[in-house]
Structure 1
Amino acid sequence: MRLIYNIAIIKVRVLIFILKFFNSKIRSFNNQRKNVIKKLESSISKNDNHIWIHVASLGEYEQGLPIFKEIKSLYKNHKIILSFFSSSGYEVQKNNSIGDLTIYLPLDSPSNAKKLISIVNPKMAFFVKYEFWPNYLYNLKKNNTPTYLLAGLFRKNHWFFKWYGSGFLNLLKSSITHFFVQNKESKNLLSSHNITNCTLMGDSRFDRVNSLPDQNNEIKNIKEFIGDKICFVAGSTWKEDEYLIIDSINENKNLAWIIAPHQINKKQIKKFQDKLKCESIIHSNLNQNNINSAKVLIIDSIGLLTKLYSYSDLSYVGGGMGQSGLHNILEPAIFKNPILIGKNYLNFPEAKDLISKNGAVSIKNTKEFQIILNKLIENKIRRTEMGEINFNYIKSNLGTTKNVISYLKGTK
């Protein structure tokens, strides 16, 4: 299995080398990782004990954050190396409070993995959710490093449960010291494959979002932009989501609309603005002179979304109209927002839960969106009921961090 994987990695490296001359995103991917090993060599002392924490992106970082804080407190004599795979996570959190050193994860080649593990020599390693990198896992195993999966989520259709994925499944079995999973289905699935070193921890995002109302959520000029209107926040939107809501924006100009795209793309934002029949403004251009003229505010920076939900009366969470994956619906839930989402949500247990509890509604098309939105605009009592359902759902699922930390304390 590793041989086939490593041949694929060689091909990926060749493609990156060629395509970086023609594609800015691939060029950035390459440049971000170019000097990571050198950075580690110059920054790390062999006299220090290290813990390695790896996350894919911002969402996984936020999900693991309550646990990371406790790990940092529990192992005060260790330094933490925090790695990200995506730039959306690294750029927002490169100055975080968890990592003593924050880096991009180098490509999972045999040489990179061997060098990183040799330099860092982690006393423990933590991966979040789906981050399985064969060469890194293989070298952690060779290094006898206790390695933990946090917030694991497994489904029957995962490729490593198929016959052709058996080699990778065996690597997981032999390299992961303990699996902390989000739900019973994942635990039972692992058990059916003779993986018993597993604990049902729950979803640590509940612990994370529970702290959001206590942070400073003020954003300059937002309160003035909303005024006395009902505020609708559409968060982490993709093109498919924006197509879904644009007719409703044009028909409901008395709402204060705030759109926070998942990717900040000036051309895409301009295309969206051109389809609007009312005045819109980019957040970076918002000031006291134009604050009362625009009906739609478009966010052009990363990191404000959770704060925006604190201002919202209604929320739409993006990702569910296309195949990119539904984004975090727990963030608006803690602020007692009624939640609308797209049609593709079946792989997200929290979405299924809130829909069954009537705190969230799945939308299939533009017409349905308009109907549901108008009903909620007209019915404040229903909005309040949905908000309370969502808030109570968060409160009833707290405590996942304790499950992990109790286990780790037992290993000290």
Structure 2
Amino acid sequence: MNLLYRLFFLLVPGFLNLIKPFSSKLRHFLDGRGSIIEDLKNFRNSNPGHLVWFHVASLGEYEQARPVIAGLKTKWPELTLVISFFSPSGYDHVIKKPQIHVDFITYLPLDRKSWADQFVKALNPELAFFVKYDLWFHHIQALKKNRIPVFLISASLRENQSFFGVFGGFFRQNLFSMDWIFTQNQRSIDLLRGIGFHQCSIAGDTRFDRVAATAAAPKALPEIKQWIDHQPVIVVGSAWEEDMKLLIPLINAYPVYRWIIAPHDLNSEPMDRWASQLRVETKKYSDWDPSDSNSVLFIDNIGMLSSLYQFAKVAYVGGAFGKGLHNILEPLGFGVPVIFGKVKREVKFPEAAQSIQEGCGFSVEDEKSLFEIFEKLETPDFYEKSVDSAQKWVKSNLGAADRILEKVSELGLVK
């Protein structure tokens, strides 16, 4: 299996370069990796100090890493912190504005052995963190060859992952190369111990730390507050077409609300089409004024959503009917009950089932069930109980980043 894996990454870059003229997404994926090693060497020449490396797949995993990154910088401010992304969508989002505590942002090279060796040599970290699941064999082996400690944080393991499948023996090498694995839940601990790995502990989901920090200090957004006045607000985060099919009748039935909708796709076409089906006035944020009387505001930019939840009475988070549920913890961090579509693969989104069990998350599968839960949340007693449940659940899950940093200190891994 090792030979097949190496052969795959020897051959696949050439194949991808052959077909990249026919795909703008693939071209973007490959071109972004064109000068990784050179850029990294230049950075290290100017920043030769002690360095900690975090690798994430995309934006969601970066959000999980941020509380640990902030904690490291607070405790050891002299550290240089580098974050690498596999996905262009995550990289593109983060690189657009300065990231407090992060000194350098890069792509991860494809997992060819020679490229991984070059990357780790140029990076020269004293400690590496991988977040949740995006583990690459040759990069991890390059770290171990150089005796660099490696942690996996916010791990959420499932029986159907590659570590436990037909070729599990090969992929389990990534797990057994870890100096410590911090999991989100007991099920992951049980799976690890079932394959004989015991350097692990439950730290929890660092996203709770992140959403609590956002809720404690959101962007003020005074123009939004002015427009809302004293009317109740529903915030819709990451709306897809399938979500809006359910939501449009609800919006038409409740024109008294202010509806703030952040679409997954920022192109004008879907927003214009949705607006044409609504019986209330709509505006896009880019051509809107706080004095406008519109009931619906489409947020056609990136970066506002997490702070918009501060104004919500109820939130709806999209994606469950499509590629996957987006972050329901952001509204819950503000104590806002959240509605979402029926999740297809519950094991991938354990927070959805847990929020339902806690009484602050509500799953819907059609227009009828959406109206039913919305009407329940209009009942003061039911609503207040949901708010209280959200606040208690988030509070009970805080401290994951602190537990990780305690282990780093205990092992003396940062100089």
**Class of the TM-score when normalised by the shorter of the 2 chains:** over 0.9
Please report the TM-score for the alignment, with normalisation by the length of structure 2: 0.92
Q: Distance in 1 between matches of 2:82 and 2:260?
A: 36
Q: Distance in 2 between matches of 1:405 and 1:231?
A: 38
Secondary structure of 1:163 counterpart: coil
Q: Distance in 2 between matches of 1:124 and 1:403?
A: 17
Deviation of the 1:210 alpha carbon: 1.5
Residue 182 of structure 1 is aligned with which of 175, 181, 184? 184
Q: Distance in 2 between matches of 1:134 and 1:81?
A: 19
2:351 maps to 1:350: yes
Q: Which residue of 2 aligns with 1:152?
A: 155
Secondary structure of 1:195 counterpart: coil
Q: Which residue of 2 aligns with 1:79?
A: 80
Deviation of the 1:29 alpha carbon: 1.6
Distance 1:47 1:278, change over 3 A: closer
Q: Which amino acid letter does the alignment assign opposite residue 89 of structure 2?
A: S
Deviation of the 1:267 alpha carbon: 3.1
Q: Which residue of 1 aligns with 2:41?
A: 41
Q: Which amino acid letter does the alignment assign opposite residue 196 of structure 2?
A: N
Residue 277 of structure 1 is aligned with which of 269, 276, 279? 279
Q: Distance in 2 between matches of 1:9 and 1:407?
A: 34
Q: Which residue of 1 aligns with 2:335?
A: 336
The 10-residue stretch of structure 1 (275-284 or 178-187) with the greater mean CA deviation from structure 2: 275-284
Secondary structure of 1:167 counterpart: helix
Deviation of the 1:21 alpha carbon: 1.7
Distance 1:184 1:4, change over 3 A: same
Q: Distance in 2 between matches of 1:362 and 1:168?
A: 34
Given that 2:69 and 2:81 are in contact with CA atoms closer than 8 Å, whether structure 1 keeps it comes out as no
The 10-residue stretch of structure 1 (41-50 or 108-117) with the greater mean CA deviation from structure 2: 41-50
**1:8-407 pair list within 5 angstroms:** 8-45=8-45, 47-94=48-95, 95-173=98-176, 175-288=177-290, 291-292=292-293, 294-322=294-322, 324-344=323-343, 346-347=346-347, 348-377=349-378, 379-407=379-407
The 10-residue stretch of structure 1 (199-208 or 42-51) with the greater mean CA deviation from structure 2: 42-51
Distance 1:125 1:244, change over 3 A: same
Q: Which amino acid letter does the alignment assign opposite residue 144 of structure 1?
A: R
Secondary structure of 1:196 counterpart: coil
Q: Distance in 1 between matches of 2:133 and 2:265?
A: 22
Q: Provide Cα deviations, 1:335-385, integer angstroms capped at 9, x if missing partner.
A: 1212111111622332222211222211011221122223323x2332222
Q: Which amino acid letter does the alignment assign opposite residue 188 of structure 2?
A: S
Please report the TM-score for the alignment, with normalisation by the length of structure 1: 0.93
Deviation of the 1:10 alpha carbon: 4.3
Percent of aligned positions with the same letter in both sequences?
35
Q: Distance in 1 between matches of 2:213 and 2:78?
A: 26
Deviation of the 1:107 alpha carbon: 2.2
Aligned residues between the structures = 407
Secondary structure of 2:383 counterpart: helix
Deviation of the 1:16 alpha carbon: 3.0
Q: Which amino acid letter does the alignment assign opposite residue 91 of structure 2?
A: Y
Given that 2:376 and 2:383 are in contact with CA atoms closer than 8 Å, whether structure 1 keeps it comes out as no
Secondary structure of 1:327 counterpart: coil
The 10-residue stretch of structure 1 (120-129 or 328-337) with the greater mean CA deviation from structure 2: 328-337
Given that 1:82 and 1:98 are in contact with CA atoms closer than 8 Å, whether structure 2 keeps it comes out as no
Deviation of the 1:15 alpha carbon: 4.2
Distance 1:13 1:274, change over 3 A: farther
Q: Which amino acid letter does the alignment assign opposite residue 286 of structure 2?
A: S
Given that 2:266 and 2:300 are in contact with CA atoms closer than 8 Å, whether structure 1 keeps it comes out as yes
Q: Distance in 2 between matches of 1:119 and 1:90?
A: 20
Gaps of 5+ in 2: none
The 10-residue stretch of structure 1 (229-238 or 175-184) with the greater mean CA deviation from structure 2: 229-238
Q: Distance in 2 between matches of 1:263 and 1:148?
A: 34
Distance 1:9 1:261, change over 3 A: farther
The 10-residue stretch of structure 1 (87-96 or 312-321) with the greater mean CA deviation from structure 2: 87-96
Q: Which amino acid letter does the alignment assign opposite residue 346 of structure 1?
A: E
Q: Distance in 2 between matches of 1:108 and 1:238?
A: 33
Q: Which amino acid letter does the alignment assign opposite residue 255 of structure 1?
A: Y
Q: Distance in 1 between matches of 2:277 and 2:34?
A: 41
Distance 1:222 1:15, change over 3 A: farther
Secondary structure of 2:319 counterpart: coil
Distance 1:263 1:34, change over 3 A: farther
Secondary structure of 1:33 counterpart: coil
